Amino acid sequence: MNTAHHDLVLMIRLQSLYDGIAQALQDRQSPPSEVKALEETNRQRNAELVDLEAQIKAFEEELKEVHKGEQEWRQELEHFQKQKGMVTNEREFTAVISEIDYATKELENRKARREELEATIGQIGDDIEARRKAQPEEETAQKEITAGWEATKTDLKAKVHQLALDANALEEELHPKNRASFLRLLKSKKGIAISAVADGSCSVCHFKLRPHLMQRVRRCEEIIACEYCHRVLYRDDALADCSEEES
């Protein structure tokens, strides 16, 4: 049997196996869209909870200040109300009334803000509680998706292992020189060691083959490399013709 033709056929099969290995490894490192969406949802949910808790903390700090201000203005109001009964003339009365009006307004402002803050804190607290109560159900759904992805990763790992075993078996059938060349190209050419000839050019780098080189590729009597990218060249139709001649 023509050694070059035999090894070319093996190299094509090997390239297919290594393509499968590369794809399986890539798939294993690339979670499906539902897993990515789940991870993003979890990230957003956690970020939102952290933000809500930070809001409550900030509002509670403000509420302390508002409480303090409300108490202080209540004391001011009580003070001026006592003074109102001690005034001795209209000017003092007018001044006290003005202070009472101002203190009353400030007290009402503090009270309104306190009520607003208390309502807001209550709403945010309810929101946080509702989110936390929903977590068990969400986590159950998440576990199902995660378990499915873990099972897929296990299957992909097993697939890579089997493809590697098949590739090793095929490599043993290659002529040592061709095997070494193929593996070297596989490593140096980003996983693509061979290239089909299409329309007179290397289908990977698109370098145009010279006519006499095209004839040599067609005859399948030797391993021919692309003059530009150095990958092993082959033609499917030529391999088929060679197979028919050998049979």
CA dihedral 238, 244, 246, 247 (to 10 degrees): 160
CATH assignment, 31-154: 1.10.287
pLDDT digits (tens, 9 = 90+) for 165-208: 999 999 999 999 999 999 999 999 999 999 999 999 999 999 99
Are the C-beta atoms of 241 and 5 separated by less than 8 Å? no
* Ranges of residues in the chain whose predicted pLDDT is under 70: 1, 241-247
Residue keyed to tokens 């202080």 = 72
Q: Is the pTM of this model over 0.85?
A: no
Where are the domain boundaries for CATH 1.10.287.1490 in the chain?
A: 3-26+175-246
Q: 3-26+175-246: what fold?
A: Helix Hairpins (1.10.287)
Are the C-beta atoms of 39 and 72 separated by less than 8 Å? no
Q: Give the chain's mean pLDDT.
A: 91
Write out the DSSP string of 216-245. HHHHTSS--B-TTT-PEEE-HHHHHHHHHH
